Structure 1
Amino acid sequence: MKIVALVRPAGEVPEAAQVLAAAAGMAPAEARMRLAPEPPALLARLAPDAADALVKRLQDAGLAALAIDEAETAERVTARTVTFGATEGTFTPRSGAPLTLAWEDVTVILRGASSVRTQSEHSEKKTQVALGTALITGGLKMTKTTETSVRGSQEETSQQYFVFDRDGRGAVIPELGLDFSCLGAAMQPSRTANMVALSKLLRERAPTAFYDERLLRLGRRPLPFVLGGAVQIVSGATSHSRLNTAQGLDVLAEAMRQGVARGFLP
């Protein structure tokens, strides 16, 4: 399957919603809804041939559309440490072979964030003295039981950088799990400050690369067509749900990488 994405705003292209609705088999209102979010926005999830045909029709209508093949992902290494050499950077994972990228070949640097949201709901029963009930029943029943729903929610957010070269190879630098001592003298006392320091170092080493931070906002939103991000468990009167947007952030980063490679961005 392929996910069709839009990497630039649809603008005032009048036939965009009609083209999307007709090609993807959706209602015009749904098509307008898919085109509305700030890009990169996911429009449809289709079989490869249908996705490619939709992309062509959207591009013919003047839209910056592309298709992301779920079965083919660019080579990526999640770094545990980073070595900032003068001409190249080496991204070393916790296990496996490191990835070395020449700074002059780095074309895209993206700063993003994903969230894990958990929600719980359960029922609580409370018994209390009820004078009205006692009067009505002549003292046979002195209490009443009430049931209320108790809800709780929590959100944890973490940042990461995506660094891609012109061949599509890439490294992910996570806020959680990175050994910040690799920053050397630039190391800061907090994770947030260290992520800012990383931005400075990356941009100094690859000054011609396309740099973007919009995924700090967009990577935290739940996305259509991205499977595996939500889990819900119901046990009796208790329910728990968990939404992780990390996979969606990865898809958005790939859409932006391809957008730069195809000349749609910046």
Structure 2
Amino acid sequence: MSESRELREKLEETQAELRRAREHLEKLRVYQARERDSLQQQLEGARREVAGLRGRLEELEAEGEEPAPSASLVPPEPAPVVEERPHETGTAIVALVRNPTSLEQAMPALSRVLKLAPVDVRFRLAPMPPAVVARLPLSQAEELRVALRAEGFLAVSCPVERREKASPVMVKQFVLEEQALSVEGTLGESLRVRYAELRLLMRGRSTVAQWETQPEVVSVGGTGLFQIPVHRAVRVRHEQLELFLWVLGKGARLAFTQVTRFTGLGEQRAPSVFENLQRLANELQRRAPHVVLDERFLQMPRFVLPQVDEEQSQELLAELLLQAIEEGLWL
């Protein structure tokens, strides 16, 4: 009897939360409709004013008079150019490494700390952990991380940097030494990472977009025989899937891809990139048993983190995982 009462209470709470969400959405619709009507009225008024001024100007020109300057016709003085200062702090994403054991019990604290409605909290915790719950300026992100930790939630944060700055080193060739991994990058970089410093291996696929400029011929100026062909350049987007193995550790961000020469595997070298990446991951795990292997991106080449561009989502999730591993929060 008590169990059915608890289920009924939970059902009533969920229904009440859904009603509140519907009411909130309805208020938003009404507000948007009201704003749209107001803007439409302002637009119509501006059009009428322009039409009146144009008619007055035509009358004055027809009479041969110099139109007197009007406040509506005199162009406004140009606004002073204010040089925008670059963001000094940047932004960071905050994520929960693991969802609470009982989300219902944790919901009041999460809703209060995140300043979100329970339905929004559930929505942000729906993806596979680490689940991003906010993107804020660096100082505010750190405050939120500390506040979540104080409530007992395993939270980590990661700065969102420009992709060219945060991208890993693309490995051209490598050598598996006895105590370290020695690599040469495609841009001539030379790195040596001890196996003891490795923390995370991420094997997967990513969708890479490339833009190509192609000529196109269009016809303008009439119909039929009177059309004139015009040549112009258009940008065409091409997408392809690329396999990768990311090796992350203390001060190391390495990417093994199709451009990597796998001669460093020696006799283990395989004919396909897929097998070579798998065998390299296995060999690194053998030499560094403490390393964590994550292969979720093999099934999710198109992966998007909330509030983050798709092109950066995979790399930022890897950084969140690395942060969690380094702090001993990822089991």
TM norm. shorter chain > 0.5 = yes
2:187 pairs with 1:95:
yes
Deviation at 1:254, TM superposition (A): 0.4
2:259 pairs with 1:177:
yes
Cα RMSD after superposing both structures: 2.8
> For the residues of structure 1 that align with 2:208 and 2:248, how far apart are their CA atoms?
25
> For the residues of structure 2 that align with 1:253 and 1:216, how far apart are their CA atoms?
14
2:137 counterpart letter in structure 1: A
Q: Is the 8 A contact 1:99 1:171 kept in 2?
A: no
Deviation at 1:219, TM superposition (A): 5.9
Pairing of 1:19-98 with structure 2 (within 5 A)? 19-71=109-161, 76-98=168-190
1:26 counterpart letter in structure 2: L
Q: Is the 8 A contact 1:5 1:255 kept in 2?
A: yes
Cα separation, partners in 2 of 1:8 and 1:156, compared to 1, 3 Å: farther
Tell me what 1:226 maps to: 308
> For the residues of structure 1 that align with 2:106 and 2:161, how far apart are their CA atoms?
28
Pairing of 1:1-266 with structure 2 (within 5 A)? 1-71=91-161, 76-116=168-208, 156-165=240-249, 168-217=250-299, 220-227=302-309, 229=310, 245=311, 247-266=312-331
**TM-score scaled by length of structure 2:** 0.57
**TM-score scaled by length of structure 1:** 0.70
Deviation at 1:199, TM superposition (A): 1.4
> For the residues of structure 2 that align with 1:79 and 1:85, how far apart are their CA atoms?
16
**Residue segments in structure 2 that go unaligned for 5+ positions in a row:** 1-90, 211-237
Cα distance per residue 1:61-89 (max 9 Å; x no partner): 33221111224977942211121111111
Deviation at 1:177, TM superposition (A): 1.8
2:270 counterpart letter in structure 1: Q
Cα separation, partners in 2 of 1:60 and 1:14, compared to 1, 3 Å: farther
From the two aligned structures, give the one with the greater strand fraction.
1
Deviation at 1:15, TM superposition (A): 4.9
Name which of structure 1's ranges 16-25 and 176-185 shifts more when overlaid on structure 2. 16-25
> For the residues of structure 1 that align with 2:292 and 2:264, how far apart are their CA atoms?
24
Cα separation, partners in 2 of 1:75 and 1:174, compared to 1, 3 Å: closer
**Which secondary structure state, in structure 2, belongs to the residue aligned with residue 5 of structure 1?**
strand
Cα separation, partners in 2 of 1:95 and 1:197, compared to 1, 3 Å: same
Highest CA radius of gyration, 1 or 2? 2
Name which of structure 1's ranges 208-217 and 33-42 shifts more when overlaid on structure 2. 208-217
Deviation at 1:175, TM superposition (A): 2.5
> For the residues of structure 2 that align with 1:171 and 1:67, how far apart are their CA atoms?
18
Cα distance per residue 1:207-254 (max 9 Å; x no partner): 222233234345632221213x3xxxxxxxxxxxxxxx4x21100110
**Which secondary structure state, in structure 2, belongs to the residue aligned with residue 14 of structure 1?**
helix
Q: Is the 8 A contact 2:171 2:257 kept in 1?
A: no
**Which secondary structure state, in structure 1, belongs to the residue aligned with residue 320 of structure 2?**
helix
1:96 counterpart letter in structure 2: G
Cα separation, partners in 2 of 1:27 and 1:176, compared to 1, 3 Å: farther
**Which secondary structure state, in structure 2, belongs to the residue aligned with residue 80 of structure 1?**
strand
